[in-house]
Amino acid sequence: MKLTGAEIMVRCLAEEGVSTIFGYPGGAILPFYDALRTSKIKHILTAHEQGASHAADGWARATGQVGVCVATSGPGATNLVTGLATAYLDSIPVVAITGQVARPMIGHDAFQEVDITGITMPCTKHNFLVKEPAQLAHTLRLAFQLAKHGRPGPVLVDVPRDVQTELIEYVHDKLPEVGLPQPDMERVNRAIAAINQAQRPVMLVGGGVIRADAEYDAMHLCEKLHMPVVSTLMGLGAISAYRKLFLGMTGLHGHERANNAVKEADLILAVGSRFNDRVTGERSSYGANKKVVHIDIDPAELDKNIYSNIGIAGPMKQVLNLLEQGSKVKDLSPWWQRIESWTSMEEDFGDEQAPLFLKALNAVIKDKDYIVVTDVGQHQMWAAQHLKIQFARQFITSGGLGTMGFSLPAAMGAALARPQSRVISISGDGGFKMTGSELYTISTHKIPVTAIVFNNHGLGMIRQLQTVQFEKRFTSCEFPGYVDFVRYAEAFGVKGEHVKTPEQLAEALAKAMELDEPYLIEVEIDPKDMVLPMVVPGLGIGDFVKFEEKK
């Protein structure tokens, strides 16, 4: 059967089970949009291509399925880049399809021509420029396979306009499965022996556990051994925060108890974490006086940042199950007594007011199928520290790249991916101004996202860093202009309200969760509030900043 390239692109998306895509049209991708018109695939026209890429990312984070975004050549394609880099650093399966100028025009600096495969090479898992129409279908299938295979990641497919219009033979097909590297059993046995010997073990869960849908396998292992668990930002939700074994988040804004446990442990069992610098603090002291057992699907993560005594590359579920089978239950009560002597995650935030807003939300979200999506900055850390995340894929955040403006469009993608859930987007006023225009998309499609804007009239994390690192020489961290975000939302047809207290916020959110439409809640935050605990920049994760006279 002969079809146009554009029709084949639509067919290939259908082959992959894609129901919804996010995008923005332009000249070089118009044949695809024309073919899309008669398809069952739902296209969400965003306000900006960056929104489309974050929405596809949010879709993927909420479901584990590949998220898809589409843009035209040139500026359309470059506007996707931040979203692709965001997905790349957090290992999120996304396929981006971009239009490209027609093949004879490539290299002539044609109108809206950029070398997007060149631009995105370092921030995608792989990318393709389809020069041969006959290779189009196979390339798209391979793009989906690569996005999902092993360690997931974004893949971009650049399709010249004349490839989209050419008539090509189409055959429905499926690529053969590609196996994963198998764990080295000798190393697995050494890891089991190390776990069985440990007096003070800690499990460190990272985003890789969630990516691999291995949260139950991780939980079974630590439940069996009664092993304390700490989480990275990306691992939140892999272990319910209500479980006794959970000590909290570890890292530069980690809980005191979690960080101290890592510091004093004689064994760290790191699962699906890449030991990012925000997790380890000063690297050379991190693994001192302890054994590090590191498990990751990506062999390149082993010994990249932290030297591991035993590194195991392999599928997460499989390795965790092997460790569970081999490990022996042991009395860890002296270790637990030591752990319980440290300030718990319930009480270590000083006298700051802002965390109380997050704590108030816990009663609203408890045991509910609610997804929380954050932006980047202080509110993100407060959310990570104080929200009790119970389930994998319940907490969505831009961890690796730290992309401001991520929350609202990602929340939109998550809400469309999981219509049975309710989605709460939390942003600061800074990040919300970056991609707030996606309220247009949310309003147009009546996507029930509740956007909470923490308004401290400035860039709180910048203010905090300037307090700690620059002796309070504040610059560019305060917004002199005023934005009323409730009225901003009204302009898009989205209702909202202002709240001033944690109780009001909880009440407003509970009400919003009952609505079948978007809602915005603006929260007044004290600009002087800080994220505590905080590790001294450049020091180890047990060295917390002490604020004598903070304000």
Q: What is the Cα–Cα distance from 429 to 91, expressed in whole angstroms?
A: 27
Count of alpha carbons within 13 angstroms of residue 311, beta-carbon side: 17
Of positions 78, 112, 126, 421, contacts another protein by CB under 8 A: 126
In 100-173, alpha helices (H): 116-120, 136-148, 161-165
Of 298 and 490, CB closest to another protein: 298
Footprint (CB under 8 A) of another protein, residues 102-121: 117-118, 121
| Angle at the Cα of 16 from the Cα atoms of 10 and 21, rounded to 5 degrees | 55
Nearest Cα to Cα of residue 192 among 293, 271, 303, 317: 293
Binding of another protein by 132 (CB under 8 A) = yes
Site string for another protein, 58-97 (x = CB under 8 A): ----------------------------------------
Of 119 and 245, CB closest to another protein: 119
Of positions 43, 125, 211, 379, contacts another protein by CB under 8 A: 125
Binding of another protein by 176 (CB under 8 A) = yes
Q: What is the Cα–Cα distance from 130 to 118, expressed in whole angstroms?
A: 14
Count of alpha carbons within 13 angstroms of residue 382, beta-carbon side: 26
Of 55 and 163, CB closest to another protein: 163
Q: Considering only the stretches 283-291, 296-304, 434-442, 516-524, report the one whose residues sit in contact with another protein under the rule CB under 8 A.
A: 296-304
Q: What is the Cα–Cα distance from 539 to 134, expressed in whole angstroms?
A: 56
Q: What is the Cα–Cα distance from 551 to 325, expressed in whole angstroms?
A: 53
In 343-489, which ranges are E strands?
Answer: 370-374, 395-396, 422-428, 449-455
Of positions 169, 186, 213, 303, contacts another protein by CB under 8 A: 303
Residue 83 · residue 69 · CB < 8 Å: yes
Site string for another protein, 235-274 (x = CB under 8 A): ----------------------------------------
Count of residues that interact with another protein, criterion CB under 8 A: 25
Of 121 and 515, CB closest to another protein: 121
Of positions 103, 138, 495, 511, contacts another protein by CB under 8 A: 138
**Helices 185-197 & 316-326 angle (0-180, nearest 10):** 50
As to burial, measured by CB atoms within 10 angstroms (0-12 exposed, 13-18 middle, 19+ buried), residue 46 is: buried
Supply the DSSP symbol for 133. G
Supply the DSSP symbol for 177. P
Beta bridge mates, 458: 478
Of 169 and 526, CB closest to another protein: 169
Q: Considering only the stretches 26-34, 127-135, 243-251, 400-408, report the one whose residues sit in contact with another protein under the rule CB under 8 A.
A: 127-135
* Rounded least distance, CB 234 to another protein, Å: 19
* Rounded least distance, CB 265 to another protein, Å: 24
End-to-end CA distance of the chain: 72
Binding of another protein by 139 (CB under 8 A) = yes
Binding of another protein by 283 (CB under 8 A) = no
Q: Which residues bind another protein (CB under 8 A)?
A: 117-118, 121-122, 125-126, 129, 132, 134-135, 138-139, 142, 145-146, 175-176, 178, 298-300, 302-304, 307
